[in-house]
Amino acid sequence: MIVRLQEGYLKTKFGTFLEILYYDGLKESVALVMGDISNSENVLCRVHSSCLSAHAFNSIECDCREQMEMAQFLIEKEGKGIIIWLEQEGRNNGHFALLSTAQLRANGMTSTEAYLSLGFKEDARDYRCATEILRDLNIVSIDLLTNSPQKIDSLRDSGINVVGSRRIAIDSSNNEELEKSYKDKILRGHLIDL
């Protein structure tokens, strides 16, 4: 069960969001909310996993930082929406797992192959906390910003009314590292155009 710990306003280059901190007994999650979304339908929503490499260190091997910026930009443009930040580093295998796969990825393995070869899960993420946050905020239905049909299915399976989805990918043509990441995601069923 998730509980609200604290909230306050956060000024960003994409406007002011209400930041709500949640805790499930193991990890903290954050909801960034813009506008009045309570009892709203078709709320623009991004469910986003933490990525230390991209958000703190500006890695070019993934698009996590750009996806966060794009979500904030689209929500600001819409005037309301929510971003749910989940502590799920390395597909929820942890940063140790992510670092452990570095040499294997450098030698040509996809991230998925590298995780599996080292005994980690292909994808250990779950969206239970996101589901509980959406319920806590009384959101009727969401328009999900994602490239992942699995994320849509997972949220729907948990009872969230996902009425639509919008792709949120960046141009990878000038970034060989990101293109490799996208090819792996496409193999896993993500809807990304190269």
**What is the DSSP secondary-structure string of 54-81?**
HHTT--SS--HHHHHHHHHHHHHHHT-E
Cα–Cα distance for residue pair 71/49, rounded to 1 Å:
13
Cα–Cα distance for residue pair 44/179, rounded to 1 Å:
27
Considering 46, 91, 105, 125, which one is annotated as catalytic? 125
Cβ 114 vs Cβ 104: under 8 Å: yes
Cα–Cα distance for residue pair 8/65, rounded to 1 Å:
23
Give the type of residue at 114: A
Tokens 């995780």 label which residue?
115
- Distances 93 to 60, 76, 96, 104, 185 between C-alpha atoms, Å: 20, 32, 8, 16, 17
Considering 24, 123, 136, 184, which one is annotated as catalytic? 123
How many residues can be counted in the chain?
194
Active site residue 65: no
Active site residue 125: yes
Cβ 7 vs Cβ 19: under 8 Å: yes
Task: Tell me the catalytic residues.
Answer: 123, 125
